[in-house]
Structure 1
Amino acid sequence: MMTVFLSVVFWVCVLGVITPYVVYPASLFLLSRLRQPHEPGSATPRASVVISAYNEAAVIREKLENACALDYPSELLEVIVISDESDDGTDEIVREFAGRSVKLFRQVPREGKSAALTKFVPRCNGDVIVFSDANSVYQPDAVAKLVRHFSDPKVGYVVGHQRYHQGDGAASKSESAYWDFEIRLKCWESRLSSVVGGDGAIMAMRRELFSPLQKDDINDFLIPLRIVVAGYRGLFDPEAVCYEEAAPSFGGEFKRKVRIVNRSFRALTRAPGAMNPLKVGVFAWQLICHKVVRWLAPVFLIGCLATSTALAASGSTFFQLTLVVQIAFYLLAVARLIPKVGEFKLIYLCYFFCLSNVAAGLGIINIFLGRKFSTWTPQRTEISKS
């Protein structure tokens, strides 16, 4: 009886591991073929580009030059920088652009991005809010591509296509490979229903749909959930493009993922209707498979290892083989720590997968420990200080 129980647990855990990477993508692709792509429209509403910044002196000038050069009617566009008590000269640089429709809103004391958006988004003049990061460089037509979809009154938010300048390091290549996979999912989700989550680097929403955020809310995930629950649709536009540098190190990416999973799980409790299929339809399935099951992968991986170990010890040849395969996989990941050997693609991708799941596990553990994240220092700021 125990053998049967452990076997069932093993296969449930296997399903949990492969669902977000195999089962869900395959099912999503097939279902998305049943719907026609959304027609973009030609709306040109008043738009406010909102740039959140904390100590971004190294990149803010380039960002503002880029924003001021966007191919969008100047009388319909304003650029707003929300400085979260920056103290590195960011604000002084922003003030140099005061004559070019650039406004500076400064938050004191420092409370994080979500608190800043809650304070200052109501002061924006645009009918559409375009959220951006200080290091995100937009293609000239990016804003026009985003906002055109609001011709459809049922569209509540639109997510753009963030692309990474791929560096030479393993961390950069791993993140780029993962992101290519994510982009495919976004395209299929958008076609079927709504894209799951947003992107703080490039996302637009109707201003009237913005609602106050708590300090520790993850704005670019919670905002889209609330909009879908309110009955609107969220789209992904692959033609609305911005560029960022990929993660400079595995360490920085690890800390970022711990924060994201921690805050995203909390967001689910702030918009529980997003997981109710009676309220949001197929989007609930997308959210659970794409995000929730993936965040729980550390639990499933531990379950696979524990059950296969117990069943292998009982003499099962099949489970002895599965145990060997798992151990070999983790050894490949550990091999990333060996100089030169760790630069092989298979090895650093295994390492990235394991690192991401350890980060997800820590993010969940921090929830039970009561730890919240509302502010952080951008990796580029940390690097400049080191």
Structure 2
Amino acid sequence: METLLWLSIGLLVYSYLLYPFVLLVCSKLFNKSKTWCKNAQHLPDITVIISAFNEQSCIADRIKNLNHIDYPQHKIKLLVGSDGSTDDTNEILLALAKTTENLQVELFSQNRGKMSVLNDLIAKATTDIVVMSDANTEFAEDALIELTQPFVDENIGAVCGELVLYNAGCERNQDDKYWQYERFLKKHESNLNALLGANGAIYAFRKALYVPLAHDTIVDDFQIALHVRKQKQVVVYQQRALAFEEIAPDLSAEGQRRVRIGRGNYQAFFRMPWLLNPANGFLFFSYVSHKVLRWFAPHLMLIAIVTNVLLATTPFYVALLALQVLFYVLAFIGINLPTHSIAKQPIIKIIAFFTAMNVSLLKGFIQYFTTKSSGAWQRTVR
């Protein structure tokens, strides 16, 4: 019982606190990264692919953004698929296609799900390099130039850009610190050729390396990039290729997004067992340390509290249990009293964010085993 308690606590501490330091040391000792100079003279032909569902509020601005980006327009083909949209998305896209020479629109009558649309659109791409993005994303002016530079190296199979989240209101992004923390991990994992997936808002890959995925795939960006890596190609993180997205408007919407992503994480875990092979080297090390332990953090937290309750027969374990209870009380305050002055304290905000994130993960885990996925999706801000 004691072993279970301390093992669960130890794994949580390692994944969130110790792993970044171990990763940093490994990154410094075994850095495999390269620097690519920005060269507008050697730019490949690309196809930018977007799967859209009920995006009437942003799809016109998205096409406008791509048509005013710093990249030769004759080298860009825009391929947008509407996945059974029920608002004005289809009408807007058809109108844009009449005035936008490089825009190809595919309208699907049934809402089959994002992955089904992506499989169809990627099959239609005629360029060697495919760029993936979302309808509610905006690229920086030089994003595509920066994103495609690494492909001058034939060993590079995919490139992940940098997503910058912002809040349209006056408040700071609630998970800004956590996002910075994740960017730190991505940078150093990329240095070890151990980058874990991509960000759906901005990434690119060689079409020849694409492996079609099941129609009900949820975290497509993660699986697409790692299937490229499975083929012994390098997946790199290009921080200078910037994309921007607005965060979810409220905690409820953000919570729903996290539950869905959590469900997708467990789906990927069970569908990609090859990642658990130690022969993958640093990829295995980062996958277990950064992803697997995080995905099962809710389970470790439950084990820690349950075993602590059973061991609370001595002053030491009673005190430890009291600390755990205090932790969850503070989390409850931070989650349920967001406007209260106590809930605004930095430590309480961190505890609340950490707990809410793991509650969403646990819900996603339960949904993965109890809900049949049809592949159809519902629109969220992110």
> Does the TM-score normalized on the shorter chain lie above 0.5?
yes
Say yes or no: does 1:44 pair with 2:39.
no
Secondary structure at 1:203's aligned position in 2? Answer: strand
Residue 264 of structure 1: aligned partner: 265
SS at match of 2:173: helix
Give the C-alpha shift of residue 235 in structure 1.
0.7
Q: Distance in 1 between matches of 2:234 and 2:220?
A: 17
Distance 2:173 2:17 in 1: 21
Name the structure 2 match of 1:30: 25
The Cα of 1:151 is off from its aligned counterpart by 1.2
Distance 1:374 1:348, change over 3 A: farther
Correspondence for 2:94: 95
Aligned with 1:24: secondary structure? helix
For residues 291 and 251 of structure 1, what CA distance do their matches in structure 2 show?
A: 24
What do the CA deviations read for 1:183-221 (whole angstroms, capped 9, x no partner)? 111101111113111111111111111121211112111
Matches within 5 A, 1:1-386: 6-34=1-29, 35-40=31-36, 42=39, 43-98=42-97, 99-100=99-100, 101-166=102-167, 173-217=173-217, 218-278=219-279, 280-312=280-312, 314-315=313-314, 317-336=315-334, 337-338=336-337, 339-341=339-341, 342-372=343-373, 374-380=375-381
Aligned mates of 2:22, 2:372 — CA distance in 1: 36
TM-score w.r.t. the length of structure 2 is: 0.92
Tell me the alpha carbon deviations over residues 90-113 of structure 1, each in whole angstroms, 9 at most, x when there is no partner: 122222332321111122211111
Q: Which runs of 5+ in 1 are unaligned?
A: 1-5, 382-386
Provide the C-alpha distance between the structure 2 equivalents of 1:318 and 1:29, rounded to a whole number of angstroms: 35
Deviation at 1:168, TM superposition (A): 5.1
Quote the Cα distance in structure 2 between the aligned partners of 1:327 and 1:48: 52
Deviates more, 1:160-169 or 1:298-307: 160-169
Deviation at 1:226, TM superposition (A): 1.0
Question: Among the aligned pairs, what percent are the same residue?
Answer: 29
How far apart are residue 352 of structure 1 and its match? Answer: 1.8
Secondary structure of the residue aligned to 1:183 is helix
Q: How large is the RMSD of aligned CA atoms in angstroms?
A: 1.9
**Aligned equivalents of 1:343 and 1:63: distance in 2?**
35
Q: Do the aligned partners of 1:226 and 1:274 also contact (CA within 8 Å) in 2?
A: no
Q: Describe the SS at the equivalent of 1:173.
A: coil
**Cα deviation, residue 36, structure 1:** 4.7
AA of the residue aligned to 1:289: S
Deviation at 1:284, TM superposition (A): 1.2
Whether the 8 Å CA contact 2:194–2:282 is kept in 1: the answer is no
State the 1:340 CA deviation. 1.9
Q: Which runs of 5+ in 2 are unaligned?
A: none
Q: Which amino acid aligns with 1:139?
A: A
Letter in 1 for 2:10: L
- Shift in Å at residue 49 of structure 1? 0.8
Contact between 1:112 and 1:374, CA under 8 Å: does it hold in 2? yes
Deviation at 1:115, TM superposition (A): 0.5
Q: CA deviation at 1:318?
A: 2.5
Contact kept, 8 Å, 2:79 with 2:121, in 1: the verdict is no
TM-score (norm 1): 0.91
| Paired residue secondary structure (1:33) | helix
Following superposition, the deviation at residue 375 of structure 1 comes to: 2.7
The change in CA–CA distance for 1:232 and 1:137 in structure 2 (over 3 A counts) is same
Partners of 2:299 and 2:113 lie apart in 1 by 30
Give me the whole-angstrom Cα distance separating, in 1, the residues matched to 2:192 and 2:127.
29
Q: State how far apart, in whole Å, the 2-side matches of 1:50 and 1:37 are.
A: 27
* Deviations, residues 39-68 of structure 1 (Å, cap 9, x unaligned): 326552111111121011101111111000
What letter is aligned with 2:90? D
Residue 368 of structure 1 and its aligned partner are, at CA, apart by 2.3
- Conserved 8 A contact 1:175-1:247: no
Once residues 230 and 37 of structure 1 are traced to their aligned partners in structure 2, the CA distance between those partners, rounded to angstroms, is: 19
Amino acid at match of 1:20: S
- Check conservation: 2:131, 2:203, Cα contact below 8 A: yes
Matches of 2:282 and 2:211 in 1, distance apart? 24
1:384 corresponds in structure 2 to none
Q: Aligned with 1:109: secondary structure?
A: coil
Q: Which moved more, 1:6-15 or 1:259-268?
A: 259-268
Whether the 8 Å CA contact 1:258–1:362 is kept in 2: the answer is yes
Counterparts of 1:135 and 1:373, CA distance in 2: 23
